[in-house]
Structure 1
Amino acid sequence: MTILRRTLLATAAAATALGLAGGAMAQDKTKVGFVYVGPVGDGGWTHEHDMGRKAVEAEFGDKVETVYVENVAEGPDAERVMTQMALNGADLIFTTSFGFMDPTINVAKKFPDVKFEHATGYKRADNVSTYSARFYEGRAVQGVIAGHMTESNIVGYIGSFPIPEVIRGINSAYIHAKKVNPDVQFKIVWAYTWFDPAKEADAAKVLIEQGADVILQHTDSTAPHAAAAEKGGVITFGQASDMAEYAPSPRVSSIIDNWAPYYIARTKAVMDGTWASMDTWDGIGPGMVGIGEITDTVPAEVKEEAMALKESIASGEYHPFTGPLKKQDGSDWLAEGETADDGTLAGMNFYVEGIEGDIPQ
């Protein structure tokens, strides 16, 4: 064998070895997918989930690869997107909207080696975990501010869909607004969307026309804030994200969803082989729910009261659903000092006493 041929063979062997090593390194990289119901630029719900995705990248660097698909409709299209992610090698997939629940379960059955995490749902499997935040804790804080700040005694609430998560929030906000203002009324408009700026703006305008000078929302865009700013004399609260571009008014505070620690922990669990199916429901105490800055539009004594409530919830000293409480039909629900159990809250399908109107079926 000539020296030249030996040299060429040795070079080829070295290149092959490097290629195999590179392939192994690529395979060792954990691939994490995210399925979003709205655009990453919505300024609210999806924005905060995407902040969590970026936190995973920052935490693990070149040990992970993240991918996402935005604006995925709840239904068959979600199943298609999840299937493609799994086929493309995702090790872990976060599906971040309630309506993705059944598609997540369906796709997980086809890919038993892929781990799935579904946000705000309740169906689990060996390779499907569920997670959510106790948004109702933040709604209690908002309720205190809203009850004090309304001059018309009418608080408007933009609901997305009539599911337990949204109903809990309405009830919690109302209970705590009523505690500080016995004359307060809630008017609720259902938008039947998570993200549709035009519908959200229209809902806000309808509520303002009905006399609301405080608007709360369980939808994801900043459109209600823009409608309130245009009208003047109406205050709003950021939903899911700080929406601070509308501070100090109309936006006077916000609920902030902090998904980053959870996403980092669950990605690490896949990496080290400790991932197991579980249900997580955290709130203000563990830091999954944050309260955005309360601006100086809110009087100092009201801000102090709201922050004291936040701290008592965070410490576990106080539960936002503490009796005595009745249901809307006047029947007893919680006795003096009794607190709601998680099972009832997770399936909540009723308004508390004092809220007018029916929950759409």
Structure 2
Amino acid sequence: MKLKSLLIGLGLMAGVSLAHAEEPFKVGFVYVGPVGDLGWSYEHDRGREEMQKFFGDKVKTTFVENVSEGADAQRVITQLAKAGNKVIFTTSFGFMNPTIKVAKRFPNVVFEHATGYKRAKNLGTYTLRTYEGRYISGVTAGLLTKTNTIGYIGAFPIPEVIRDIDATYMGAKSVNPDVKLKIVWANTWYDPGKETDAANALMDQGVDVLVQHTDSPAPLIAAQKRGVRAIGQASDMSKFADKAHVFSVRDNWAPYYIKTVQQVMDGTWKSQDFWGGFHDDMLQLSSINPNLPADVRAKIDQTYQGVKSGTIQPFKGPITDNTGKVVVPAGHTLTDEELAKVNWYVDGITDKVPN
């Protein structure tokens, strides 16, 4: 009896599960900004929370916020792998090389990197078709502007931001042939002070509709103070500028996080390059302002339906860049692989792509 009791205590009797077999499935997240940025990292964390709620006690999540893109990211990702996380989501473009380095060291861990293009057997990529939202933003800005000058606050000149600038301008140009686009680089994903400065610099140049590719509501707040319009980024930013806010393009990551974790738990996960958009509700137009003119609201709805259904394809040729080169021939629509490497401005944008 003593031996039987000892074996039961050690979990070695048939039908008795070892303690570690009952431990929750661990999932880690790495964020470039604070979860309170009210933009990009905030929405990734909302997706994490919804995924956690979906699985309940079966899953335990961990996140690390404010992680610099570079050596610090590699250290954090390594720590999460060593801590027993079975899936690790790294959620910023600058985490791409650190993620692939760590993935090589931990072949039994699944890694998922947002917005990048490097993959491996245990490393997949995922992103949103944010250019869909930018195209609608451009159409709206082109209709609303009275100065024929709209502005774009860029974070860093990576393919995602460059193609979204192009989509914004092409959308605006489709309804306003006289529109001009001015760009200011904040050189940060999240810094309310720098984002405010960028917004004011654009408004000083006559911009009266702002589009942002940074993560705080600071540009919206600055726009409201100066009586111009602005479009929210990543999350619903309407509460920060009730008059200036046009709408926000919200990122909805929860469906992807739930699906991916389930696949890993089931043993069906395979490395892939995933793109989500309006079609699968991973992009959403949030809080369209009722103070918009009726014709503008109607055009927003029409453009949204066209983009969602695929009848409007922003990167369908012919498209010429601003050096006169045909970058998308007639009859061709950029593939996802090509979209991931856009490094040119479309014809009509007078700036040069930064190195």
| TM-score grouping bracket, smaller chain normalisation | over 0.9
Once the two structures are superposed, the pairs formed by residues 175-254 of structure 1 within 5 Å of their partners are 175-231=170-226, 233-254=227-248
The offset of 1:12, in angstroms, is 6.7
Q: CA deviation at 1:346?
A: 1.6
Does 1:23 pair with 2:19?
yes
Aligned positions of 1:13-52 closer than 5 A? 16-17=10-11, 21=17, 23-27=19-23, 29-52=24-47
In structure 2, the CA distance between the partners of 1:107 and 1:302, relative to structure 1 (3 Å rule), is same
Alpha-carbon contact 1:133-1:281 (below 8 Å) kept: yes
Instruction: After TM superposition, list the pairs within 5 Å mapping 1:206-355 onto structure 2.
Output: 206-231=201-226, 233-335=227-329, 338-355=332-349
* TM-score, L = length of structure 2: 0.94
Q: Residues 69 and 247 from structure 1, CA distance in 2 versus in 1: closer, same or farther, beyond 3 angstroms?
A: same
* Alpha carbons 2:224, 2:241 under 8 Å: kept: no
Q: Give the number of aligned pairs.
A: 353
CA distance in 2 between partners of 1:212 and 1:17 (Å) = 69
Alignment partner, residue 104 of structure 1: 99
Provide closer, same or farther for how the CA distance between residues 79 and 241 of structure 1 changes in structure 2, counting only shifts above 3 A. same
How far 1:329 moved relative to its partner? 1.3
1:76-113 deviation line (CA, Å, top 9, x unaligned)? 00011011111111000000000000000001111110
Deviation for aligned residue 1:31: 0.3
- CA change 1:328–1:17 in 2 (3 A) is same
Matched, 1:139 2:101: no
Cα offset for 1:122? 0.4
Counterpart selection for 1:118 from 113, 117, 120: 113
Alpha carbons 2:247, 2:287 under 8 Å: kept: yes
Q: Which consecutive unaligned segments of at least 5 residues does structure 1 have?
A: 1-5
For the aligned residue pairs, the C-alpha RMSD in angstroms reads 2.0
Q: CA deviation at 1:11?
A: 7.1
Task: Indicate conservation of the 8 Å contact 2:221/2:241, yes or no.
Answer: no
Q: Report the Cα offset of residue 142 of structure 1.
A: 0.5
Could you tell me which runs of 5 or more consecutive residues in structure 2 were left unpaired when the two chains were aligned.
Answer: none
AA at the equivalent of 1:147: G
- Distance between the aligned counterparts of 1:11 and 1:234, measured in 2? 75
Q: Tell whether the 8 Å contact from 2:149 to 2:182 is kept in structure 1 after alignment.
A: yes
The structure with the largest alpha-carbon Rg is 1
User: d(CA) in 2 for partners of 1:80 and 1:273?
Assistant: 27
Q: Distance in 1 between matches of 2:4 and 2:274?
A: 54
Q: 1:278 to 1:343 in 2, by over 3 A?
A: closer
- In 2, the alpha carbon distance for the partners of 1:57 and 1:132 equals 20
- SS for the counterpart of 2:161 is helix
Asked if the contact 1:95/1:117 (under 8 Å) is kept, the reply is yes
8 Å contact from structure 2 (residues 220, 241) kept in 1: no
Whole-angstrom CA distance in 1 between matches of 2:63 and 2:197: 30
Identity across matched positions, percent: 52
Offset at 1:323? Answer: 3.4
Q: 1:155 to 1:12 in 2, by over 3 A?
A: same
Aligned partner letter, 1:139: R
- Structure-2 residue corresponding to 1:3: none
How many angstroms apart in 2 are the aligned matches of 1:343 and 1:79?
25
Q: Label 1:201 to 1:17 Cα distance change in 2 as closer, same or farther (>3 A).
A: same
Distance 2:195 2:35 in 1: 18
CA displacement at 1:247 relative to structure 2: 4.7
C-alpha change, 1:118 and 1:143, in structure 2 (3 Å) is same
Residues 233-260 of structure 1, C-alpha deviations (whole Å, 9 max, x = no match): 2111111111121353211111111110
The 3 A distance-change label for structure 1 pair 89 and 215 is same
In the TM superposition, what whole-angstrom CA distance separates every residue of 1:174-221 from its partner, at most 9, and x where no partner exists? 011111111111110011111111111110011111111111110111
Offset at 1:334? Answer: 3.9
1:261-306 CA-partner distances (Å, limit 9, x unpaired): 0000000011111111111012111222111232122212111111
The equivalent of 2:52 in structure 1 is 57
Alignment check: 8 A CA contact 1:247 1:295 kept: no
Question: 2 CA distance for matches of 1:344 and 1:74?
Answer: 24
**More displaced stretch, 274-283 vs 330-339:** 330-339
**Whole-angstrom distance in 1 between the partners of 2:272 and 2:316:** 27
SS at match of 2:295: helix
State which drifts further: 129-138 or 220-229: 220-229
